[in-house]
Structure 1
């Protein structure tokens, strides 16, 4: 059976399919974890420790070395995305309660949901799009996007809006696994390769554990709003990202549009933040459902819009070299062979 093949056909499938299975378990057999106990209970309730290990491995996978062009492009996109999420949070904090809207079409919408949906880009989706429609430098810009992973940026934005006060040690605790992994991965390339392999492996595990905290009744209530949120993320973050890509990054807007998605890992942030600050618990479940819907919507719509925009810019300005078009660099052996031939 080609189970993984079909899961990969679903945008963010390795995260969302286990999450949905976990949500089914929680919705119809909410006491399953307590009933089985032991390792089964640990797997169903282990969101935080699983994410801690994943965050460590993510840090270890990032190479501190990168070209100036890659850093400029990725830095531009990352900072713009975070800045837009911060502005949205500042405005929304004036109108939305900490626990989120409780009634009407916008029931479940909260500042926590907005930030989590907007402050992280789906780096894998971005890289795959830019491999086809961008330059190799633009495709490599996902390097810094990995730094958005985890709750740190969400916590910083919430703290800056005055909606939450996080003690310094809380911030340190949130990023310490990442920093330790980052340090080890750059001190020893073998460790980077070893731990880096686990980043993808852990995704379905924390997806399932996260799903075990979700009641599908909440997703049913926020379904249409989740679609609206996904479209809003593309519009609200996509326009500034395209402008920043053109004016600062030196691109034509394609990379900015490709970065206007919601990261699959963002689904975990509402629960993590609520674990640290219990006042967000009433909003966490609805926020998780909304962010999950936004991941699906943006994963489908962003590649379509990016392809259209890239083709439009190609017609307007002529052929632009993509990462796929870039010539392969010769290996050391090929260089030596060419040098030997040139001296004969």
Structure 2
């Protein structure tokens, strides 16, 4: 079993993807197992609201508002760019496309996937290819975890009904966790394991509500969604970051855009967004399975393709005399490191 778990752990987004698919398999082949009642049904199927609520509580506790000014600014720029492009695409599909979908790709899935990002992958990639301000931006980018931003977009556009009381009820666990985590380091440390511990159980419960045939058919569109996230979400984040550098009059060698490319992913917890929103607006229930499947496929797709995108950008920047080291030196008031520009320039 240990060997099997290690092999499964190599799958991108395994903590969310594997339990979700197992839940879908069990629900499709032996649904009676999940209907035994008592703790079995509560844990593996009907207890999803409690699991998601606890997950968002733990996530909120890990959002740190204390960071250096450049890191906060960079995080805000990336957050607005990623969210903006997600909402733009989602609403375009909802209101302009004839049937309100893009070849079966749902607006709910588009906004949920493109507005969310894999924080662990972001930190890992910015640690390897970026600098301190790149990594520090995660303190702001953590806001896009969970269904909150997707809920705002769909509610404002009239695509779903979210009463204020229901909206508050949905975000209150994360807000309480946020306050608790930022006022008590002990509480933050205590709740940190829950961010990962709860994911596989919530994922299985989500999968238990998905028919496996839906994953095979509608989930295929998630590949398109994943590529859209990498190209358009990453592209928008990079462009916004470049404009921020220009407006702040940063020297050309410091205009590092690695953090923008590293934001071009979909986090595994985004798979829970359709189910979370359907708990508030039951009219979304019929599309939860399809939307979850599309987001799940996008998670895997971005996890495979986005790291190559970041590595290419880091290499391109260095060939053109731009580096994270130069940016960091500039903020710290040190002389910029001398880099040889690409011969073509």
TM superposition shift of 1:204 = 1.2
1:250-306, Cα deviation, whole Å (9 max, x unpaired): 643221111011111110111111221122122211110000000000011000111
Q: Distance in 2 between matches of 1:239 and 1:156?
A: 23
User: Counterparts in 2 of 1:150-161, with a 5 A limit?
Assistant: 150-161=146-157
Q: Which residue of 2 aligns with 1:176?
A: 172
Match of 1:190 in 2: 186
Given the superposition, is the C-alpha separation of residues 139 and 116 from structure 1 closer, same or farther in structure 2, using an over 3 Å criterion?
A: same
Moved over 4 A (4+): none
**Distance of aligned partners of 1:322 and 1:302 in 2 relative to their CA distance in 1, 3 Å threshold:** farther
1:17 aligns with 2:18: yes
Determine the structure 1 residue equivalent to 2:50.
49
What corresponds to 1:245 in structure 2? 241
Closer, same or farther: CA 47–97 of 1 in aligned 2, 3 Å: farther
* Cα distance between partner residues in 2 of 1:6 and 1:66: 37
Count the aligned residue pairs: 319
Residues of 2 paired with 1:223 and 1:192: CA distance?
Answer: 36
Deviation string 1:14-66 (CA, Å, 9 cap, x unpaired) is 111111111111111122221x2111111112221101011111111222211
Check whether the contact 1:134–1:254 (CA below 8 A) recurs between aligned residues: yes
Aligned to 2:116: 120
Matches within 5 A, 1:190-209: 190-209=186-205
Partner of 2:68: 67
Cα displacement (A) at 1:214? 1.3
1:57 and 1:196 in contact (8 A); partners too: yes
The one-character-per-residue Cα deviations of 1:166-219 (angstroms, maximum 9, x if unpaired) are 111111111101111111122221111101221111111111111111111011
Which of 217, 223, 246 is equivalent to 1:221? 217
Residue 332 of structure 1 aligns with which residue? none
Of 242-251 and 81-90, the range deviating more from structure 2: 242-251
- Contact 1:234/1:260 (8 A) holds in 2: yes
Query: Any gaps of 5 or more consecutive residues in structure 2?
Result: 330-345
The 3-state SS of whatever aligns with 1:285 is: helix
Residue of 231, 234, 239 corresponding to 2:227: 231
SS of the aligned residue for 2:156 comes to helix
RMSD (Å), alpha carbons: 2.2
Look up the match of 2:39.
Answer: 39
Quickly say closer, same or farther: Cα 1:136–1:7, change in 2 above 3 A.
farther
8 Å Cα contact 2:256-2:323 kept in structure 1:
no
Question: Within 2, Cα distance between the matches of 1:188 and 1:320?
Answer: 33
Matched, 1:283 2:287: yes
